Amino acid sequence: MQNNHHTVARRLKKLRKDKGWSLTACAEHTGVSKAMLGQIERQESSPTLATLWKLATGFNVSLSWLLNDEQQPMTFDFAHERIQVERLLAFDPQTQQEVYKLCMAEGAQSHSDAHRRGTFEMLYVQSGRLDIVVGETQVTIKAGEAYRFDAAQPHSYINRYSGKTEFLAVINYV
Which partner, DNA, its own copies, none, binds residue 135 by CB below 5 to 8 Å per kind? none
Cβ-based neighbour number of residue 144 at 10 Å: 9
Q: List the single partner that 24 binds among its own copies, DNA, none, CB under 5 to 8 Å by kind.
A: DNA
Q: With binding defined as CB under 7 A, does residue 58 bind DNA?
A: no
Number of residues that bind DNA (CB under 7 A): 22
For position 72 contacting DNA by CB under 7 A, the verdict is: no
| Partner touching 167 among DNA, its own copies, none, CB below 5 to 8 Å by kind | none
36 makes contact, choosing from DNA, its own copies, none, with CB < 5 to 8 Å by partner type, with: DNA
38 contacts DNA (rule: CB under 7 A): yes
Contact present, 55 and 26 (Cβ < 8 Å): no
Choose the contact partner of 69 out of its own copies, DNA, none; CB within 5 to 8 A by kind: its own copies
Q: How far is the CB of 52 from DNA (least distance, A)?
A: 8
From residue 36, alpha-carbon distances to 19, 40, 56, 88, 152 in Å are 19, 6, 15, 47, 30
- Which residues make Cβ contacts (< 8 Å) with residue 124, sequence separation at least 6? 145, 146, 167, 168, 170
Minimum gap (Å) between residue 157 Cβ and DNA: 31
Is residue 83 within 8 Å of 111, Cβ to Cβ?
no
Task: Name the site residues for its own copies (rule: CB under 8 A).
Answer: 1-5, 8, 46-50, 52-53, 56-57, 60, 62-64, 67-70, 88-89, 92, 94-95, 97, 99, 101, 120, 122, 124, 126, 144-148, 168, 170, 172
CA dihedral 35, 153, 120, 157 (to 10 degrees): -110
How many CA atoms, within 13 angstroms, populate the side-chain half-sphere of residue 74?
8
